[in-house]
Amino acid sequence: MMTQNKKDTQDKTYLEHIDPTKNISKFWEITVAEKKFSVYFGRIGTKGFVKEKEFSSYEAAVKGAEKMIASKIKKGYRKR
């Protein structure tokens, strides 16, 4: 599910959740590099926020990221 950027060996996934009837317009992006992932999120058109989480290995970071991606997709987020 993650897309690998071969230039700098980072895995990155970008999702959006847009529902005009509920005034929802959000973005969510996760990047896995080395033993951590960074999540960049917020309302579309704003600066957004960043949160990071460190893991014991790259594989554990990817597994954690994939779990978060599945959760976001379940909540209505879609790839742009």
Is residue 4 domain-resident?
Answer: no
Closest CA to 25 of 4, 49, 42: 42
Provide the domain limits for residue 72: 15-79
Per-residue pLDDT of the chain (80 residues; tens, 9 = 90+): 555 544 445 789 999 999 999 999 999 999 999 999 999 999 999 999 999 999 999 999 999 999 999 999 999 999 98
> How many domains, the chain?
1
Is residue 9 domain-resident?
Answer: no
Is residue 6 domain-resident?
Answer: no
Evaluate whether 70 touches 76 at the Cβ level (below 8 Å). Answer: no
pTM given for the model: 0.84
CATH of the domain at 37: 2.20.140.10
Helix, strand, coil percent values for the chain (each to nearest 5): 25, 50, 25
CB neighbourhood size of 20 (10 A): 7
Evaluate whether 45 touches 25 at the Cβ level (below 8 Å). Answer: yes
Is residue 30 domain-resident?
Answer: yes
